[in-house]
Structure 1
Amino acid sequence: MYNRVRRRKVAEINVVPYIDVMLVLLIIFMVTAPLITQGVKVDLPQADAEPLSKDMKPPLVASVDVDGNYYLAVGDSRNEPMSAEEVATLVAAHLKLEPDTPVVVNGDGAVSYDAVIQLMVMLQKMAGVPSVGLMTDSPERQ
């Protein structure tokens, strides 16, 4: 008869496929991260102001460009123009989930004062934002 050699079963997890998957995901995130951080080109007015503190939540940024188009940047940046009512609706929905999120208006320096004020009023009346901040560039950044 045969002398069978009994092999012991291996009770180890093979982690090599998991490492391969993690490296592929790392490469995907490294390539897509710069594409996600695109924004709207806005020339901010210069002013001396205190920056937001590091321990605050990231703010909602409502932007107005030279052509009068409105944009909203939340966690996931949206780069397509929208109406002021859409911005107010999105801000109101976000504030229902996280009520202590700061809201700032990012208006181009060449945009009319009326467009910035209308956006601020819309955010306060329609979205229920208690206070709206204005985003500026410091004079030294020129």
Structure 2
Amino acid sequence: MAGTVQQSKPRARRGRRRGRHRAMMSEINITPMVDVMLVLLIIFMVAAPLMTVGVPVELPKTAATPLPSVEEEPLTISITAEGTIALMKTEIAPDELISKLRAIAAERTDDKIFLRADGRVPYEVVAQVMGALNSGGFHNIGLVTDTGGPNMDGQ
């Protein structure tokens, strides 16, 4: 807050005269405050789209190419139409998924995992499993699909 000093008229006093009396004039200078607010507004407008929370997923491109050969056997998670979760070919309880994934991630050098989900499984279940995969240490998630699906270019 800034203030200015304004000189007032001299007062007549009894006895000796002390000079001019200066009174403080209190005005609020809002220009610096407006400048700071505009800068903060611009920063938040730029940063807000970057603050979305999500699971990093590599979605397939329109033209599928073969995957490069890997040293380890690819790890797959499958979700059936009934909602059961299978790690490779072994059925697993949903509450055990993260602990088993962490144990597997500690032994593997590659963090790539493939997620296979039945088309009738609700999106919420798929998103929850993807969050569990991310919490379990697998950040490179590949979604497995079948070929021959609908073409999005209208032909």
Question: Could you state the TM-score of these two structures normalised by the residue count of structure 2?
Answer: 0.50
Q: How does 1:108-119 map to 2 (within 5 A)?
A: 108-119=118-129
**Structure 1 partner of 2:138:** 129
Q: How does 1:35-54 map to 2 (within 5 A)?
A: 49-54=64-69
Q: What is the SS of the residue equivalent to 2:114?
A: strand
CA contact (8 A) 1:58 1:102 kept: no
Higher helix share: 1
Q: How many residues align?
A: 88
CA contact (8 A) 1:49 1:138 kept: no
Greater RCO structure (CA 8 Å; 6+ sep): 1
Alpha-carbon RMSD across the aligned residues, in angstroms, is: 2.1
CA contact (8 A) 1:60 1:91 kept: no
CA contact (8 A) 2:112 2:139 kept: no
- Find 2:114's aligned residue among 104, 110, 134: 104
Deviations 1:73-124 (Å, cap 9, x if unpaired)? 0xxx42xx32223222222111101131421111001111111111001110
Q: How does 1:1-142 map to 2 (within 5 A)?
A: 49-73=64-88, 77-78=89-90, 81-125=91-135, 127-139=136-148
Choose 1 or 2 for highest CA Rg: 2
Could you tell me which amino acid in structure 2 is paired with residue 58 of structure 1?
E
Q: What is the SS of the residue equivalent to 2:87?
A: strand
CA contact (8 A) 2:115 2:143 kept: yes
Question: Could you state the TM-score of these two structures normalised by the residue count of structure 1?
Answer: 0.54
Percent identity reads 27
Deviations 1:31-66 (Å, cap 9, x if unpaired)? xxxxxxxxxxxxxxxx75334322342211111111
CA contact (8 A) 2:76 2:115 kept: yes
Q: What is the SS of the residue equivalent to 2:92?
A: coil
**Structure 2 partner of 1:7:** none
Gaps of 5+ in 2: 1-61, 150-155
